[in-house]
Structure 1
């Protein structure tokens, strides 16, 4: 089979953005290059997935400039929202990279959700192949978006182990990592924490304020619930600061409403942290058996009960931590992720 020597990776916004999706794209670019592939980063405008006319026009020009013998991997934030006619005119073979479908985002009105579903479904039909990060997303694209299983490859995110020994904080630190948008459920977490205010704990929520209105809601809720002295909305932190927080944490908590994968769960497991989250999307397939307690979404009382059990039951906490650490030690590296994607590129250029 002919080896794909050149490729392009098109990503909207700043590739250095500290979210799971951007981390995946960034590491994929680095590891493909480490494998000897000449991969060009095509930077698209940051207004995707709701592109401005200027960003849509610019994206069309940049993608059209990719040569016909160079597969272009297009991140789902752009792939699902691009003008269909623009994608249809590209000479380069398209490989879609879907972290999670755009229509699965929380807080969308019915009309926008329907429009994104149609747009992503139509655009995915133009892709020579589709890469997803989980078997859950693969099944969803087949059932709801009409993508044949033979056109989908799962390239699970890689993982980096902890760089320093754990140093748990006192009182126990509950760590949550996720950008401040409705889907991440930080509002549910805050309400859950208010229900266990009599217990000993502190909490930090890491993640940039991508949705200004929701970030304001979280700030107001923090004050109204009387949690301002015990919970810190840390915003975006450096990778070094985040690694330190993982080392200081006693448990990881994310009251998410949906995840197409969730790299943060892998990070928590590599640090041997018990996990409290929700049984939605790919979470039950990502969190290893025994490593976490998963409750229904949008249920602060159930989430509070799970948090309380992990905090108070030392035996259960120890067993969950051991299961998390064991699963984390078995996670693949990013070189493995890149190897899967490189094989897809080889098949695309070979026409198989």
Structure 2
């Protein structure tokens, strides 16, 4: 039996995230026993720390344990002492210090703690080739395994008018770049468009900043912050989208990009080379304006991006393939 230790909010519909979706899809396909531990990971309080310590201590020697990196990487004093007797595989969705907006001293502390945990683990797993290479270089690791996310099959999006309805699916945090998107949209406010931004609004300070920016540019009736959507409402948001936009400053993979591509939606994005492939336009963060204007004014360009999205759609892997790849990694620890 494989033990999986996950964040406590893994199934919280108010807190959807790529990491949570990945954990849920993969664990549902593996022979694992899950333990979800609530806490403000990667900086948990004393109660969460004690629950994690007790959980790991209760596992018999030589147990294979799949640890979500958000839970594991900030508490080496709990995880590392167990590494000598447990077969620990740490799944890194995002390097802790890569979260945008951290104070430099906190980023350095989280980076140090993550390095200590990953060097002690029996296996380290990243969700993209680029993320694996970065972890190997930055933390001085040996081989980091790559298990890329799958995607659920989906029907082709019908869109709205083929041009003007833009969709962004991302938590409203500094790393996701909603401020960059609003500034770019303000620069094309002479054209017809409406942008729907779907995602949790838990960072209330940053969310208020984005609302103020929208108001400052007079875009209150054109940029919509819906909060988190799941199930049919999220499916409908994708189904009516003409263009998917993700302005992130940093990503390890970008699962929402493949969710858009699975529906044949053209994509304009930053920081997601592995997810996007040749399926859309990859631009530097903050360089959206000219490409948005081109999308909104050039029909031949739109046709080209739609064709690219549909070709990439045919190449996407499934969650069953992801689970098989994860099982192969974990099997090396049990051998």
Give the TM-score normalised by structure 2: 0.95
Aligned residue among 107, 122, 131 for 2:125: 131
Q: Over the residues paired in the alignment, what is the CA RMSD in angstroms?
A: 1.4
Paired with 1:99 and 1:85, the residues of 2 have a C-alpha distance of 20
CA contact (8 A) 1:288 1:323 kept: no
Residue 6 of structure 2 is matched in structure 1 by 11
Aligned residue among 284, 293, 300 for 1:296: 284
Q: Give CA-to-partner distance per residue, 1:171-194, whole Å, 9 cap, x none.
A: 721000100110000111011111
CA contact (8 A) 2:39 2:45 kept: no
**Cα offset, 1:167, TM superposition:** 2.3
Give unmatched runs, 5+ long, in structure 1.
1-5
Please say if 1:104 is aligned against 2:104: no
Please say if 1:247 is aligned against 2:239: yes
Paired with 2:326 and 2:283, the residues of 1 have a C-alpha distance of 33
**Cα offset, 1:158, TM superposition:** 0.5
Residue 182 of structure 2 is matched in structure 1 by 190
Please say if 1:208 is aligned against 2:200: yes
Give the TM-score normalised by structure 1: 0.90
CA contact (8 A) 1:76 1:99 kept: yes
**Cα offset, 1:65, TM superposition:** 1.4
CA contact (8 A) 2:72 2:79 kept: no
Paired with 1:346 and 1:319, the residues of 2 have a C-alpha distance of 43
Paired with 1:153 and 1:42, the residues of 2 have a C-alpha distance of 23
Paired with 2:329 and 2:71, the residues of 1 have a C-alpha distance of 20
Aligned residue among 139, 142, 148 for 2:142: 148
Aligned residue among 257, 260, 266 for 2:258: 266
CA contact (8 A) 1:274 1:310 kept: no
Q: Give CA-to-partner distance per residue, 1:153-176, whole Å, 9 cap, x none.
A: 11110111214x532224721000
Paired with 2:78 and 2:23, the residues of 1 have a C-alpha distance of 25
Paired with 2:78 and 2:167, the residues of 1 have a C-alpha distance of 44
**Cα offset, 1:86, TM superposition:** 4.2
Please say if 1:284 is aligned against 2:284: no
Q: Give CA-to-partner distance per residue, 1:210-230, whole Å, 9 cap, x none.
A: 312111111121111111101
CA contact (8 A) 1:256 1:277 kept: yes
Task: Classify the secondary structure of the residue corresponding to 2:324.
Answer: helix
Q: Give CA-to-partner distance per residue, 1:285-338, whole Å, 9 cap, x none.
A: 32122x3222222x2xx3111111112211111111111111122111101111
Paired with 2:196 and 2:69, the residues of 1 have a C-alpha distance of 29
Paired with 1:192 and 1:157, the residues of 2 have a C-alpha distance of 29
Task: Find runs of 4+ consecutive structure 1 residues off by over 6 angstroms.
Answer: none
Give unmatched runs, 5+ long, in structure 2.
none
Aligned residue among 116, 122, 127 for 2:116: 122
Task: Classify the secondary structure of the residue corresponding to 1:273.
Answer: coil
CA contact (8 A) 1:121 1:145 kept: yes
Task: Classify the secondary structure of the residue corresponding to 2:91.
Answer: strand
Q: Give CA-to-partner distance per residue, 1:92-115, whole Å, 9 cap, x none.
A: 211000112011111111101110
